[in-house]
Chain A
Amino acid sequence: MAIDILLTLLTVVFSLMVVFSKKTVVAAFSLLMTLLVIAMIYFQLGTVFLSAVQVLVNAGAIAILFVFVMMLINLEQFQNNREKSKWKLVVSTLTMLVLLGVFALVINNNIEALSVVNLTDNSMKTLFAKLFDVYYLPFEMATVLLLAAIVASIVITSHDRTEKLEEK
């Protein structure tokens, strides 16, 4: 129980650091820490495979992308052109807390209706049996989605095509 509270607090702290820190690299590494703490939360909840995948993919690949970007463009600090207003800060925080409270209440009361997959236990065997039984199509469609992402990333970053577009 204490572990859960600690992990949740850490997640909140790190995600606030991502949003509010002025230095870009600090924000990127706070994102990495947020993802790692969420992986620990997944582990505590019993979905062990998801925890490993979270570290492997999210923290080990996506966060690297963010860190690469921050280091490659070498932007020291985020530009902060907002006007600071204490009233706006207070009102927005209160609204956010109220919304979070409503959200938590709704989820708490309807948790059986929300669980779509209905696993009997959290073990990897039942998860995979369900994955390749009922949810096979989304599994295959995910590959197609990844193919689209591959094509998109190469098209966006290739020089020749942008030059041809400018010539027209």
Chain B
Amino acid sequence: MEFAAFIVFFLIACTLAAVLLGISSLLGQKRKAVREMDIYESGVNPVGSATRQYDIKFYVTAILFLLFDVEIVFLLPWALAYKDTTNTGFMIGGFVFFMVILLVGYIFVINSKALKWEE
């Protein structure tokens, strides 16, 4: 039942966006101009193709985001279950261990300067 609510919401949002685009493409004037078809680079002719090498740091950022995100996702059930447990010492022990490992990883990342963007 709730899933139906989500699907309806999603479909109406998609339809809205599609309708807006449709209206614009119907109502906009159509002209055949020549200069507007080029790649825009501040008015000069484009230099080189769009395929160039990008810094590996973007990829490293994405991978490290994934890993730390998974760690935080592991913490979410912990945070929710803490209220219900009787053995809080056990939970805290696990939390401390978890945090120690996370901090070791984090300090390694910072020390290695893998994410240090220079100017």
Q: Do chains A and B touch in the complex (CB under 8 A)?
A: yes
On A, residues with C-beta under 8 Å from B are 3, 40, 43-44, 49, 53, 56-57, 60-62, 64-65, 68-69, 72, 74, 124-125, 127-129, 131-132, 136, 139-140, 142-144, 146-147, 149-151, 153-154, 157-158
* Secondary structure type dominating chain A contacts: helix
Whether A142 contacts B74 by the Cβ 8 Å rule is: yes
Q: A143 CA to B69 CA in the complex, in Å?
A: 12
On B, residues with C-beta under 8 Å from A are 3, 50-51, 54, 56, 58-60, 62-67, 69-71, 73-74, 76-78, 80-81, 84-85, 90-91, 94, 97-98, 101-102, 104-105, 108-109, 112, 114
Whether A44 contacts B3 by the Cβ 8 Å rule is: yes
Our pick among B62, B64, B84 for the contact of A150 (Cβ within 8 Å) is B64
Whether A56 contacts B3 by the Cβ 8 Å rule is: no
Whether A154 contacts B108 by the Cβ 8 Å rule is: yes
Q: Total A-B pairs in contact (CB under 8 Å)?
A: 105
Our pick among B65, B70, B85 for the contact of A146 (Cβ within 8 Å) is B70
Our pick among A53, A74, A157 for the contact of B60 (Cβ within 8 Å) is A157
A-chain residues with CB within 8 Å of residue B105 when the two chains form the complex: 146-147, 150-151
Given A40-B3, A44-B3; A56-B73 close (CB under 8 Å): yes
Whether B80 contacts A129 by the Cβ 8 Å rule is: no
Whether B114 contacts A154 by the Cβ 8 Å rule is: yes
Our pick among B54, B64, B98 for the contact of A153 (Cβ within 8 Å) is B64
Q: A147 CA to B81 CA in the complex, in Å?
A: 24
A-chain residues with CB within 8 Å of residue B51 when the two chains form the complex: 74
Whether A128 contacts B74 by the Cβ 8 Å rule is: no
Q: A64 CA to B80 CA in the complex, in Å?
A: 28
Q: Which of A53, A132, A143 has the most CB of B within 10 A?
A: A143
Whether B59 contacts A69 by the Cβ 8 Å rule is: yes
Whether B69 contacts A56 by the Cβ 8 Å rule is: yes
> Can you offer 29 A-B residue contacts whose CB atoms are under 8 A?
A44-B3, A57-B70, A61-B70, A64-B62, A64-B66, A68-B62, A69-B59, A72-B54, A72-B59, A128-B77, A128-B81, A129-B84, A131-B77, A132-B81, A132-B85, A132-B90, A132-B94, A136-B94, A139-B94, A140-B98, A140-B101, A143-B101, A144-B101, A146-B70, A146-B105, A153-B63, A154-B64, A154-B108, A157-B56
B-chain residues with CB within 8 Å of residue A143 when the two chains form the complex: 71, 74, 97-98, 101-102
Whether A154 contacts B74 by the Cβ 8 Å rule is: no
A-chain residues with CB within 8 Å of residue B81 when the two chains form the complex: 125, 128-129, 131-132
A-chain residues with CB within 8 Å of residue B67 when the two chains form the complex: 146, 149-150, 153
A-chain residues with CB within 8 Å of residue B62 when the two chains form the complex: 61, 64-65, 68
Q: A105 CA to B4 CA in the complex, in Å?
A: 31
Whether A49 contacts B59 by the Cβ 8 Å rule is: no
